[in-house]
Every structure is written in structure tokens, then in C-alpha cells.
Amino acid sequence: MIADRLACLRRQLPEGVELTAVSKFHPVEALREAYDAGQRIFGESRVQEITSKIEAMPDDTVWHFIGHLQTNKVRRLLSTRRIALIESVDTDRLLRAIDDESLRLGIVTRVLLQVHVAREETKFGFSPDELIEFFTSGAFESLRATHICGLMAMASNTDDTARVADDFRRVAALMADIQHLRPDLRGFDTLSMGMSHDYPLAIAAGANLVRIGSLIFGDRV
Ligand SMILES: *Cc1c(COP(=O)(O)O)cnc(C)c1O
């Protein structure tokens, strides 16, 4: 079942678009099924859950953290030494905490900065203006053990596809603006947008990483 859904989904992803299989709240057996079907990148949103799943899954599983991360849990998360990408860095303070901890551990942590474009108050992330300011000021240059690889965003949670498409296009434009502003930024090329219900619109806008859960694993329990 999971293997079929994955295969079906993969056929719809254009060349160059990577898939984070969002496995939060699903048991290890479900991840195992996806792994056996060839999936390697898994996304989790809680530190406790990702830590125990890392223990239970094969060593070549690739782990992305996609949830809201509290500063006081950074040490626990990074001490696994298995986090390939934190997709959801939503404050400068968190970024600094990740950098400090990575330096202490002697690792380089790859991150995406989360942008808030959805017209909902509950969403986390930097505003587009804050990000432009962040890159204009060169604030990232003081990072010692963190590599900013791109942006992550969620669109407004609505059936209005025009609005969703517009949210995605604004993030893609912001990414291009930052690249233009900072041509010296290396490896700033990952644009993570799109979930089960809106990933085709995200890809159309330029996403090259999608985060899909329920379409693969079914409803979360
Ligand atoms: C849960 C989650 C997803 C996946 O959502 P689905 O609708 O199950 O595809 C993607 N991104 C983030 C940040 C999430 O928390």
C-alpha cells in the first residue's frame, strides 16, 4: 500500500524534485515499508520521535527535521549526529543555538530558513522583509558551523488555489531576490514547499523539495 502510493507519487515528481516523506506520528513499521520501497529521506517534527526512530531505522536513512524546534531541544536533536537538514529554522535565536551546538559537536548543520507567507497568524517563520534584512546585513557571515541551504515555506491553508499558488510564487521570488542580493552565497538552492494537498502548485512555482505525509502514509493517528 505505502509502496504503491510512493511509486505513484514519484511518477508525478519531475526530475530534480526531491521528496521528504513526512512520517511524523506513524509507526516505525510504516517507515520501514517506505524504506523498503526505496525512500530514504524522512521528515519528522518532534525531537523525541525522531530520536527514537533514528535508533530503529537503518543507518543510511536520511533525516530531516521539519517541525517547530525549541532552542532548549537543539542539543538533544543534534547530538544524534544524524540530522541531514533542519528545514524549519524560524528565528535568528534558533539559528545561533544551532550554530553554537554544531560548533561544539564539531559538525556542520545544514538548514533551511522558514518563511512566513501564509495569511494565518499561527504559522512560524521569518517574514520576507526580515529575511531580506538578514541577508542584506550579512548576519549569516558570522555563522561558523551552519550552512543555510535555502528556504522552506507553507502556503495558506485554503481551497483557494489562486491564493496558494500566489504564496508559493512569492517565496520563489524571495529566493531569487536573495540569490541576486548575495551572489556569493554558496549552495543556497533548496526550495522546500508543497505538502500532500498542494505540492503540484509548489512544484509549478519552483519547489525542488516537497514534504509529503498523508498521501504516502495515510491519515496520521
Ligand atoms: C506534517 C507536515 C507536512 C506534511 O503534511 P501532509 O499534509 O501530511 O502531506 C509537511 N510539512 C510540514 C512542516 C509538516 O508539519
Q: 56 with 84: CB under 8 angstroms? A: no
pLDDT of res. 154: 96
Mutate to test the pocket of ligand 1, among 5, 20, 22, 46 (most ligand atoms within 8 A of CB): 22
Q: Which residues of the chain have pLDDT under 70?
A: 121-122
DSSP 83-151: EEEEEEE--HHHHHHHHHHHHHHT--EEEEEEEE-SS-TT--SB-HHHHHHHHHTTGGGG-SSEEEEEE
Output Rg (C-alpha) for the chain, integer angstroms.
17
CA distance readout (Å), 7 to 11, 36, 38, 114, 216: 6, 12, 9, 29, 9
Residue written as grid cell 496520521: 220
Report the residue among 39, 69, 116, 211 best suited for mutation to probe ligand 1: largest number of ligand atoms under 8 A from its CB: 211
Work out the widest C-alpha separation in the chain, in whole angstroms. 49
In this predicted structure, what is the pLDDT of residue 220? Answer: 83
Q: Which helix (H) or strand (E) holds 10?
A: helix 2-12
Instruction: State whether the beta carbon of 213 lies less than 6 angstroms from ligand 1.
Output: yes
What's the 213 CA to ligand 1 centre distance in angstroms?
A: 6
Report d(CA 137, CA 121) in Å as an integer: 27
Verify whether ligand 1 is closer than 6 Å to residue 110 (CB atom).
no
**Separation of CA 18 and ligand 1 centre (Å):** 15
| Atom number, ligand 1, closest to the C-alpha of residue 212 | 9
| Mean confidence (pLDDT) of the chain | 96
Q: What is the pLDDT of residue 105?
A: 98
- Residue minimizing CA distance to atom 13 of ligand 1: 66
Whole-structure pTM value: 0.97
Q: Write the residue with the smallest CA distance to atom 11 of ligand 1.
A: 211
Say what the pLDDT of residue 139 is. 86
Residue 122: per-residue pLDDT? 67
